Structures are given as C-alpha cells and as structure tokens.
Amino acid sequence: MKKSIIIFSIFFLGSNLLAQDSLFVKQDSLFVNKHGNIMLPQKGDIGIGISADPFLYYFGNMFNGTSSNNLNLSNQTFYFRYNLSSNEALRIAFSVNTSNNVANFYVIDDAARLSNPLSNQQVQDRETTASHFYQGRVGYERFRGYKRLRGFYGADLGYSYQKSNVKREYGNQMNALNPSPTTHWGNLSDRPLENNNGSINTISVGVFTGIEYYFAPKICVGTELGLLYGQSWGSQSYTKNEKMVLTQYTIYNTALSPGNSGYSIKTAFPYAYGSLYLMFHF
C-alpha cells in the first residue's frame, strides 16, 4: 500500500506539472542574436547532447596538479530531443556499458608430465569475465524562460538491465586418472566452471526540472535534478562446478540466491542528462 501511494504521488506531481498551462509563460521562441540567427530550437528540431562531466573533471584536474589526468569519454550517455514546438519536446537518454574480457594463463601439461617427469610442455587455462549494462529513459518536457535562459520541467519513464558472469576453461582435463588437475588457481578437485550473478531489472518513474542557457544559436549548456522512484528485481544466481565422484565425472549447479527485489526513492542530481550537459539542435 505504501509503495502504491508513493508511485501515485510521483505520477500526480508529474501530471500536475505538465497540465498547468496557466503557469506556463510563453517563451520568446523567435529570439535572435545580433546577426539575425534564431537562438532557440523550433518545432521539428532534433537535439543531440553529451555529458560535460568528463570535461569538467579533466579541466579541474589540470588546475589542481593531478599527474594522472586524462579525458575519459568511455562512459558517455547519449541524449536526444525532438521538439514538438518551440516550448515542448520529447526526449530520450540511453547508455550502454558492456564488456567481455578474456585472460589466458599457461600451466604445466599434466598428461605430458605424467609420461615424462622432466617435461615442460604447457597448456592454457582461460577465464572470461562478461558484464552487460543497458539503461534508457523516455520523457516529455516543457520550457519557459526569457531570451537565452530557459527553465524546464517534465516527467519520464526508465528501464535498466544488468548482468555479469565469470567462466573458466581448463587445459588439463579432469578424469579418474587425474582427479585434481593442475590449474592456474592451484590443484583443484572441485573446479568452478561458471559464476553467474544473475540479472537485475529496474523500472523507474520520475519528475525533473532544470535550466538551460543558449550561448550560441541552438547550442546550450544545461543542468537538471529530479525526484525518482525505482522498482528492481533480480533473477537467480548460481555457480557451476565440476568434480570426480569416485570414477564418475560430474557437473553440478549450486544456487546462490533466489533473486532479490526492492525499491528506492531519491532526489537525483545528476538526473538523466548529467550534472552538466551540452545540447546541439539541428
């Protein structure tokens, strides 16, 4: 019941903000600079944005003398906006962070060493670590302001998915003659094949507000904050192992967690577009 009231309150606040036309002050959408260029986006314009946070960290570290300073653009979020009019827009934000890392290790070939105790032949063990994270938000926003400065407010829905696992492959095979083969991680009689952490899904709803300043025709810098409610749930996590039971080779699974769930309510800064962002309209 408590969570239902929270969700209803967020939806009610968002719909109230979007419905209050009487509070909306019409933007001077044809405001032009001294060269006659229209400064603000118009109906049909598409905006593409990037987070300015990496640039802020980079220039900030330049002045405080950080020796390992570098411009890290690897975790950017993509921002898009479609202007329904000069005063309202649909917006999308999404990010992808996926990786697959493979580490190979040489170990002694047990079979060759059994035939020849002086053998230095080697085989390879392999560990593969995979991580996947996808997040997207879709929303509606309205603008009000004067000349180069615009405030905005709106509401959106979001979804995220994340999953990770670790797999191992061994060069020395496990069998009745070699129940504890040599591996990079030691001589193991019970060897992990996979550690699957399961997946986590999150659905969220939020309301936001912010401000933008147009320092060039249809190019702005902005910031925003919001109130966010999220509901998450996870799938089962497990490990897969191999071992010898007397002379029988066996693979078995062990459940680690049946999957967790929970919810959160928070004021979010940065919200979806980063603590500071740049937006270009075409």
pLDDT tens digits, 102-149: 999 999 999 999 999 999 999 999 999 999 999 999 999 999 998 899
Give 266's contacts (C-beta < 8 A, 6+ positions apart): 227, 228
| H or E, element range at 10 | helix 2-19
Host domain of residue 181: 2-281
What is the pTM for the complete model shown? 0.77
Highest mean pLDDT among 25-34, 90-99, 271-280: 90-99
Around Cβ 123, how many Cβ atoms within 10 Å?
Answer: 19
Cβ–Cβ < 8 Å for 153, 141? yes
Give 59-75 pLDDT, tens digit per residue.
Answer: 656 666 555 666 555 56
Give 182-210 pLDDT, tens digit per residue.
Answer: 999 999 999 999 999 999 999 999 999 99
Q: Residue 240's pLDDT is what? A: 97
Is the per-residue pLDDT at 20 higher than 50?
no
- Among 16-20, 116-120, 249-253, where is mean pLDDT lowest? 16-20
Share of the chain above pLDDT 70, in %: 81
Choose between 179 and 9: higher pLDDT: 179
Give 125's contacts (C-beta < 8 A, 6+ positions apart): 104, 105, 107, 168, 169, 170, 171, 183, 184, 185
Catalogue the E-assigned strands of the chain.
46-51, 78-85, 88-108, 122-146, 149-169, 182-183, 186-187, 190-216, 219-234, 237-245, 248-257, 261-268, 277-281
- Number of domains observed in the structure of the chain: 1
Choose between 22 and 193: higher pLDDT: 193
In 3D, which of 150, 275, 156 has the Cα closest to residue 219? 150
Work out the average pLDDT over 9-32.
Answer: 49
Choose between 189 and 2: higher pLDDT: 189
In 3D, which of 199, 175, 171 has the Cα closest to residue 189? 175
Choose between 29 and 191: higher pLDDT: 191
